[in-house]
Amino acid sequence: MGLTAQFASRLLSCTPKLLNNPLETSRRLVLSTTTTLRNRKRSGPGPPRLKIVNATRESGGGAEVDTAVAVKEKPKSERFEVYRGSPTPFGATARDGGVNFAIFSANAVSATLCLISLSDLHENKVAEQISLDPSTNKTGDVWHVFLKGDFKDMLYGYKFDGKFSPDEGLYYDFSRILLDPYAKAVISRGEFGALGADGNCWPQMACTVPSFDDEQFDWEGDLPLKYPQRDLIIYEMHVRGFTRHESSRTEFPGTYLGVVEKLHHLKELGVNCIELMPCHEFNELEYSSYNSVLGDHKVNFWGYSTVNYFSPMAKYSSSGVRNCGRDAIYEFKLLIREAHKQGIEVIMDVVFNHTAEGNENGPLLSFRGVDNSVYYMLAPKGEFYNYSGCGNTFNCNNPVVRQFIVDCLRYWVTEMHVDGFRFDLASIMTRGSSLWDAVNVYGNSIEGDWMTTGSPLSSPPLIDMISNDPILHGVKLIAEAWDTGGLYQVGTFPHWGIWSEWNGKYRDTVRQFIKGTGGFSGAFAECLCGSPNLYREGGRKPWNSINFVCAHDGFTLADLVTYNNKHNLANGEDNKDGENHNNSWNCGQEGELARTSVKKLRKRQMRNFFLCLMVSQGVPMIYMGDEYGHTKGGNNNTYCHDNYMNYFQWDKKEESSSDFFRFCCLMTKFRHECESLGLNDFPTAEKLQWHGHTPGMPDWSETSRFVAFTLIDSVKGEIYVAFNTSHLPVIITLPERPGFRWEPLVDTSKPTPYDFLTIDLPGREIAYDQYAHFLDANLYPMLSYSSIILILSPEESS
């Protein structure tokens, strides 16, 4: 989501409809304005109490434990046996012939467990309400209960009562049924983009009750691939967008299973790691509104607005909400297992910087109604800090919240087998929590270490916990090292030696240099070396830099060379949304309709960008669709479109298979083959030498638009790479290597297939002959805006 997160700061257009409560009159809270909220008075009866009817002693094979059978005074539960329960683990857990429910809420005065049948969910009915007695069903700040009975097709949620005082950060409303933050599956509507009853975009959601009958997934011996991070080529992918287009011809388009059907494409491309855009449960209709420009409705397509962090997005499942959302868990696991079989790791894009509950005008879904003052970063008068640009800020360094985040990450690693995480707006996770001080964070006072809410911390407790966790410290951890509150930490994110970063400075520098902007040759050379200017001083390595030119947020690669300006009118916001500074160049004409010479230059520039990614130290990341030249028509903020803009167009990919896609496949293969293009440390003078138009004479002046280097490689011998981003051609002199000869491999100025000269290429010898008279003189001609790779070979073999 990154720096365009501001789109989500609009007020939510829909609020949840309430379930009809058969035991009391429902009370609707309309979240309209801050004044309305702050002046609201609660009314209506509180929840009924639990009554202890007899005490028993249970034993589970060990020491006996005192328990108490509890039932509601009125009405009596006829479907379930009710016991005291255990405060751990959090969430709903099937065990001992029943289900234990446990949830944290420090400020609530009462808690009620609501059980809802799948058939009743869409009719806004509650099957059973079980009120919890704080004297028996509460340990510390954890409410808990243990039930035995028939849980088939059963869902659950909670009601909490307490003070409703936004000035104090409290939003308790007993009329609301809330999601358990630790729920493993959440369901509401079954079809992506389909409104609920009466056109409601926030119909009641509920959590799945686990069962002993739940099918055990067969992992078939799956184990983590554990690739060294330096060897990765990452592919940023949207699950729905990858196969939703009709040309995908998948059996289940737009789903986890659809991705499984197309894993062979990623294998062909040379990708060995997928970065999934948000797959936690979110509401795609969160800010649904009519878009008069396109004549359709806007949706939250990207998914950067989490409803529940433990639950995979149910509407990415082929079966939707059938089987109470369990199929989403099964199919997500299937995706991970099959990706691993193909030698592809999977990391998740996670959004722990804010939730879908928005600001004070947003809906009560889960965290806000459970304990708002704990889960969100609040000002002294209860206002929401908005470092995310989306209305609220998750209180990440609060002790309860950071434990929640660690528990969640552990679940996805141990239960779902994911290989790592990319943290959206990760700088928020380094900010001090509400009422931050050394006492409530570490348990002991440190004189002079008191800080205000939101202040950046040099050693954030959450990052410390994740980095030193025995399960998490071995997985991939990638930070988007900035937020919308102005904190920019690229190169300075607290890392404990293991965190990597989306290198936004790499993106900006490479875009400037490749399009021919003067004054960037030195900075460009740093990028090629893995950005030692950013990472070496902190003890990190080149692989701590995630290099990218394009991502979901901004122009695609094709649009980067086609548009000087954003064209976001289709978003219905008068072209005011999205980033204005894109460092793009249209190569002479704006838009897709252009002269043939302009189109040829655009293809050359796309090859230049991709070659740069593949020869840079660090970890390259490709954005979905860039491998065939996907265009969004110049729209650099397509968060709201469930259409062709965000769909991978497989027919277009087939059209480009002999063109740019071929080039991309060959370049990734070349990178994998070269030992020197994935170094574990920054290159030194013994391995790398810089050159200018003449050997050993690099030009780092403000006017320079040429960078070249040679690199010693244990597999290839030695390679020569050069970039000419001037508008003028140049004849360069190559380094002298007695007894050897430089052979051309890649020249982005040549038409396909001669841009990459493979051994089996028909006419390869003829292409070589065109270079012969230059190479005989140890020279090479480079056209404007081109890049080359040459390989050193013995003269006799040449």
Nearest to 352 by CA among 335, 321, 375, 382: 375
Helix, strand, coil fractions of the chain, as percent rounded to 5: 25, 25, 50
Tokens of residue 520, six digits: 């960037």
The amino acid at 548 = F
The amino acid at 577 = D
Per-residue HEC secondary structure of 637-658 comes to CCCCCCCCCCCCCHHHHHHCCC
Per-residue HEC secondary structure of 202-263 comes to CCCCEEECCCCCCCCCCCCCCCCCCCCHHHCCEEEECHHHHHCCHHHCCCCCCCHHHHHHCH
Q: Pick the catalytic residue: 424, 559, 626, 718?
A: 424
Nearest to 188 by CA among 203, 200, 178, 174: 203
Nearest to 322 by CA among 185, 218, 196: 185
Active site residue 480: yes
The amino acid at 523 = A
Tokens of residue 181, six digits: 């933050």
Name every residue whose Cβ is closer than 8 Å to that of residue 759 and which is 6 or more positions away in sequence: none
Per-residue HEC secondary structure of 733-783 comes to ECCCCCCEEEEEEEECCCCCCCCECCCCCCCHHHHHHHHHHHHHCCEEEEC
CA distance 33 to 37: 6
Q: Give the Å distances, CA to CA, from 104 to 181, 205, 533.
A: 9, 19, 45
Q: Pick the catalytic residue: 345, 480, 718, 755?
A: 480
**Greatest CA separation for the chain:** 99
| Residues composing the chain | 798
Q: Across the strands, what pairs with 66?
A: 57
The amino acid at 354 = H
Q: Give the Å distances, CA to CA, from 701 to 435, 672, 689, 706.
A: 50, 33, 18, 10
Measured in degrees and rounded to the nearest 5, phi and psi for residue 728 equal -110, 145
- Residues marked active site are found at 424, 480
